[in-house]
Chains A and B, each alone.
Chain A
Amino acid sequence: MNNINNQGKKIISFHGPLTISLLSFVGNYLKLVINTDQVLASRLYKIFIELTQNVSYYSAEVKEIEKGIKSGVGWFLLNEHGKHFEFTTGNLIKIEDGYKLDRNCNEINSLNEEELRILKRKTRGEAKIRDIGAHIGLIQTGLLSGHPLDFKVSEINSKHSYFTISVRLDK
């Protein structure tokens, strides 16, 4: 969490295994504490779930929560600024996933809203039923945010990279 923008008012942050119970609790907490209009609160909630579930599913760092139940480890941070919210997640990834994420995020950032919706439909239609992948969640995040995804893939060693993604949501 060292290289991120810490300006603004911190609403909530967490580092550890992102279990479904935790995400559900925090997501519903955000609905209550975000003092803003319903559309914005709804978008923030949706972005929160999509990005944190990507960490939970695809983090290369995994912790066994209970016997046989594992969850991806990473962190999230929600900051409130004067005219926008900023939501950021970070997690370890396999180095090969970093190349895909870099390609996918750059593609998302190059498209307008209508093009993103076309890409979303195409990606969903082609996705495997059992594993839809992180790509469509990032497309949806881009659609909800209306801003480019601010992401960084940093190689750590020959096997792993570190992925951070920050999303802006205007008030």
Chain B
Amino acid sequence: MENLVIKEVQDSPYYPSINFNAESGICEIAGESYMEETFKFYSPLIDWITKYTNEVKRPLTLNFKLTYFNTNSSRLILDMLDIVKKYQDDGGRVSVNWYYDPEDPDMIDEIQDFEMETDVKINLIEFS
């Protein structure tokens, strides 16, 4: 299975950078997310996680380093967490970490909402 890498583009700060590593199982999403065609952007990410959990079946770590995402993006993040939850329920080893700025109290509310909606434990880690 190949890695999925999308580098940050300075002229398009509405796309986050993506680094999904099939060898380590560590997947990182960083930056901001408020692109127009949200489904088109997130669809390959969801496909990659689905394939990893169905075929590779090794431990999976999701590291969210998103400083902002719009509500459209949040719907697709929810989908990713739902897949992770199913993998966990089927015996897969999963760790979800969310890096946040302590100066952004709204982000903590967002993370708590994701936890309540998916029943996935999300570890809060302050940006250093």
Residues of chain A whose beta carbon lies under 8 Å from any beta carbon of chain B: 20, 23-24, 28, 38-39, 42-43, 45-46, 49-50, 53, 56-57, 117, 120-121, 124-125, 127, 129-130, 132, 136-137, 140, 143-144
Query: Interface residues, chain B, CB within 8 Å of chain A?
Result: 12-14, 34-36, 38-39, 68, 70-72, 74-76, 78-79, 103-106, 109, 113, 116-117
Evaluate contact between B75 and A124: CB separation under 8 angstroms.
yes
B residues less than 8 Å from A136 (CB atoms): 71, 74-75
Report whether B117 and A45 are in contact in the complex, using a CB–CB cutoff of 8 Å. Answer: no
A121, B68: Cβ atoms under 8 Å?
no
A33 to B78, CA, bound (A): 33
- C-alpha gap A4/B109 in the complex (Å): 32
Could you name 17 residue pairs across A and B whose Cβ atoms are closer than 8 Å?
A24-B14, A28-B13, A38-B104, A42-B68, A42-B106, A43-B106, A46-B68, A121-B116, A124-B74, A124-B78, A125-B78, A125-B117, A129-B76, A129-B79, A132-B72, A137-B71, A140-B71
B72 to chain A, nearest CB (A): 5
Q: A49-B34, A137-B71 are in contact. List 18 more A-B contacts (CB 8 A).
A: A23-B34, A24-B34, A38-B103, A39-B105, A42-B106, A43-B106, A46-B68, A46-B70, A46-B106, A53-B70, A57-B36, A124-B78, A124-B117, A125-B117, A129-B75, A129-B79, A132-B75, A137-B70
